Amino acid sequence: MPANRFYTSLFATLLICLSSPAEARESARDNYNTYCIQCHGMQGNGMGLNIRDMSVQPRDHTDAKSMGGRSDAELFKVIKEGGFAINKSILMPPWGATFSDNEINDLVQYLRSLCKCKHGG
């Protein structure tokens, strides 16, 4: 029935809206410059404010060689679930409660612009 279908899609839309942790979709640049730079640095080079006493140093996001070794899917996973999820340091925390999946996808693209690189080269 059309009415039923209407309510089903309305419900689905609502569910999608409500499942996103952040109300508004912030730009990747703004998110990076609020959350990531505390460790990865104002210039994205891994030289953040917090690194002096860290046992594992944060990734240099401008390093095309190391960033090119990661697929977009891996970058998505490490942002959402943390370093542990890809067998890297727990010092990289999971940001799944902070960013929506859309925001994480945007961040992955932003990282590609910082390293000027793609997966595998």
Partner 1 sequence: MGMRSMLFLLLVFTVLVTPAKNRAYASDGMSILKAQCASCHDMQGPAPATLAALWQRKGPDLFYAGNKYRQAWVERWLQSPKRIRPSGMFYRDHIRPGEKRDVVDVATLNEHIRLNADDAKSVAVALATMKANSSLVSAEKHDPNLSPGPLGEMLFDKIYGCMACHQIEPGFGGLSGPEVYTAGKRLKPEFMLSYIRSPQAWDPKIWMPNKHVPDMNMQKIVNYIMDLSKEDWDAGK
The size of the interface with partner 1 (CB under 8 A), counted in residues, is: 35
Q: Which stretch binds partner 1 (CB under 8 A): 10-18, 20-28, 63-71, 106-114?
A: 20-28
Which of residues 20, 35, 88, 100 is near partner 1 by CB under 8 A?
35
How many other CB atoms are there within 10 angstroms of residue 51's CB atom?
Answer: 16
Query: Of the candidates 8, 9, 34, 71, which one interacts with partner 1 according to CB under 8 A?
Result: 34
State the Cα–Cα distance between residues 5 and 11, nearest whole angstrom.
Answer: 10
Phi, psi of 90 (to 5 degrees): -70, -10
Which positions lie near partner 1, rule CB under 8 A? 21-24, 26, 30-31, 33-35, 37-39, 41-43, 47-55, 82, 89-91, 93-98
